[in-house]
Amino acid sequence: MSMTMAATHAAGRKLKDAIFDANKACTEAIKIHGAETVTNATIGVVLDETGKLATLNAVEKIFRTLEMSELVAYAPIAGLPDFLDAAIDWVFAD
């Protein structure tokens, strides 16, 4: 016997997400044309030239200073006021 936590009107339905199809097509293109000619930008990660997740040392340094609750919490939908102010100042400087 299986159990589902989906709402009854959603039970048994399957979502077909186009991004996964695009990723599959990209993976196939890499097999055909080679990784040096195909850039897979479908899943939202950046890989380095060895295929490993690319990271920025400066970002990691800041992350390691954050409290866990700050690190894993979502920002408010409207954005963080200090970040928004800094972004506006940077974009519209002068």
79 domain residue, yes or no:
yes
Residues, the chain: 94
6 domain residue, yes or no:
no
Residue 75 and residue 66: Cα distance in Å, rounded? 14
Domain region containing 58: 18-91
pLDDT digits (tens, 9 = 90+) for 17-75: 788 888 899 999 999 999 889 888 887 777 777 878 888 899 899 989 999 998 888 88
Q: Provide the pLDDT for residue 83.
A: 92
12 domain residue, yes or no:
no
Residue 37 and residue 32: Cα distance in Å, rounded? 10
Query: Whole-model pTM?
Result: 0.40
7 domain residue, yes or no:
no
pLDDT of 78 > 80? The answer is yes
pLDDT grade for 2, boundaries at 50, 70 and 90: low
How many structural domains does the chain have?
A: 1
